[in-house]
């Protein structure tokens, strides 16, 4: 399961989505997320599903990466759906009732909407990291935060911290997997027992993981210092971010998606 987490991973490529400006990708992803919560009918989600599948297709990212990113949240999706089904009151008689459990049509509809939103929220955000290198992501976040420098927000430092944290998620996942296998090879029982025994068995994993994390942080700090890193002031870049015709096409496409999907709310 731990190997299925794809957050922070980057898949090199030369597709249309890979070539988009990182600033545009970040902004369009935010618009996409907002659109997920604006649509309140299944007709609108037909367009969202079709658009998402099309983006995955032209990004040339293998569907297995998307599936692996969704596997860890399946339990959360099921739990969210169950809560909405059981806790949503409805009008009229329930579709099913047993004791204090009442299932209404409104609950099923809301559960379907919340599950779809959660799934496509993960898919949409995963496409950013899968098609954008950490360096491009840092530059994009910094450029978007630059206007906030006027009120004292350290744009470069914030962008650097966010990207480093995102970049080291796969590294820490890989390190955790190695530590778990090493402890199991020494006879540690991690998977069996009740929840308290499982929590107790995590101690031999967390201690070496924390030590490894601090060591990696120290090595990263030394490497940045050895390269004379002194923050963002006066820092130049080998590749400058430039808005191209591809970015305008992407913006136009997402605007069309939002317009149609929101308009579908008023269809009868």
Q: By percentage, how much of the chain surpasses pLDDT 70?
A: 84
Closest-CA residue to 8 (of 160, 177, 171, 159): 171
Mean pLDDT of the chain, nearest integer: 80
Give DSSP secondary structure letters for 164-187: HHHHHHHHHHHHHHHHHHHHHHTT
Q: pLDDT at residue 131 above 80?
A: yes
Task: Please tell me the pTM assigned to this model.
Answer: 0.74
Given this model, what pLDDT does residue 126 score?
A: 84
In sequence order, the β-bridge partners of residue 96 are 103
- Mean pLDDT across the stretch 151-173? 76
Residue 124, burial from CB neighbour count under 10 angstroms (0-12, 13-18, 19+): buried
With bands split at pLDDT 50, 70 and 90, how would you rate the model's confidence at 39?
confident
Cβ count within 10 A of residue 184: 12
Domain ranges of the chain: 1-132+241-268, 154-235
**Contact assessment for residue 60 and residue 13, using Cβ atoms and an 8 Å cutoff:** yes
Q: Tokens standing for 185?
A: 């090879």
Q: By percentage, how much of the chain surpasses pLDDT 90?
A: 9
Given this model, what pLDDT does residue 27 score?
A: 92
Q: What are phi and psi of 101, to 5 degrees?
A: -90, 125
Given this model, what pLDDT does residue 262 score?
A: 86
Given this model, what pLDDT does residue 10 score?
A: 77
- Mean pLDDT across the stretch 51-65? 87
Mind listing the pLDDT tens digit for each residue in 210-259?
888 888 888 888 888 887 777 666 666 667 778 889 999 999 999 999 99
Closest-CA residue to 35 (of 112, 124, 107, 111): 124
Q: pLDDT at residue 170 above 80?
A: no
Distances (CA, A) of 256 to 41, 82, 124, 170, 259: 17, 33, 17, 35, 5
Q: pLDDT at residue 85 above 60?
A: yes
Q: What are phi and psi of 102, to 5 degrees?
A: -130, 125
Closest-CA residue to 137 (of 115, 112, 164): 164
- Mean pLDDT across the stretch 14-35? 90
Q: Residues with Cβ < 8 Å from 12, sequence gap 6 or more?
A: 18, 133
- Mean pLDDT across the stretch 41-59? 88
Mind listing the pLDDT tens digit for each residue in 178-213?
888 787 787 766 666 666 666 677 777 788 888 888
Given this model, what pLDDT does residue 156 score?
A: 75
Given this model, what pLDDT does residue 94 score?
A: 64
In sequence order, the β-bridge partners of residue 98 are 101
Q: Tokens standing for 140?
A: 């994009």
Note the helical H segments in 71-189. Answer: 74-87, 105-131, 134-145, 155-185
> How far is C-alpha 112 from the chain's CA centre?
20
Cβ count within 10 A of residue 43: 13
CA distance 189 to 191: 6
Among the ranges given (22-31, 90-99, 118-127, 251-260), the one the predictor scored with the smallest mean pLDDT: 90-99
Q: pLDDT at residue 130 above 80?
A: yes
CA distance 124 to 258: 14
Given this model, what pLDDT does residue 100 score?
A: 64
Given this model, what pLDDT does residue 248 score?
A: 93
**Contact assessment for residue 246 and residue 37, using Cβ atoms and an 8 Å cutoff:** no
């Amino acid at each position: 399961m731990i190997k299925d987490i794809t957050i922070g991973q980057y898949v090199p490529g030369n597709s249309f989505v890979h070539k988009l400006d990182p600033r545009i990708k970040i902004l369009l992803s935010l618009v996409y997320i907002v659109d997920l919560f604006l649509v309140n009918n299944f007709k609108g989600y037909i367009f969202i599903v079709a658009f998402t599948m099309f983006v995955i297709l032209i990004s040339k990212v293998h569907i297995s990466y998307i599936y692996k990113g969704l596997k860890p949240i399946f339990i959360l999706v099921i739990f969210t759906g169950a809560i909405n089904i059981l806790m949503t009151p409805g009008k009229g008689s329930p579709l099913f009732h047993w004791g204090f459990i009442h299932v209404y049509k409104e609950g099923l509809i809301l559960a379907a909407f919340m599950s779809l939103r959660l799934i496509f929220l993960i898919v949409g955000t995963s496409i950013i990291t899968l098609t954008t290198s950490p360096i491009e992501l840092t530059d994009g976040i910094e450029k978007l935060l630059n206007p906030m420098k006027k009120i004292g927000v350290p744009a470069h430092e914030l962008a650097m911290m966010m990207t480093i944290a995102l970049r080291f998620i796969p590294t820490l996942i890989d390190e955790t997997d190695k530590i778990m296998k090493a402890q199991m090879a020494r006879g540690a029982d991690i998977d069996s027992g009740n929840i308290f025994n499982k929590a107790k068995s995590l101690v031999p994993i967390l201690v070496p993981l924390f030590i490894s994390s601090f060591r990696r942080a120290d090595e990263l700090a030394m490497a940045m210092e050895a390269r004379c890193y002194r923050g963002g002031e006066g820092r130049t870049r080998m590749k400058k971010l430039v808005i191209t015709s591809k970015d305008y096409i992407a913006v136009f496409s997402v605007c069309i998606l939002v317009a149609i999907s929101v308009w579908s709310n008023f269809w009868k």
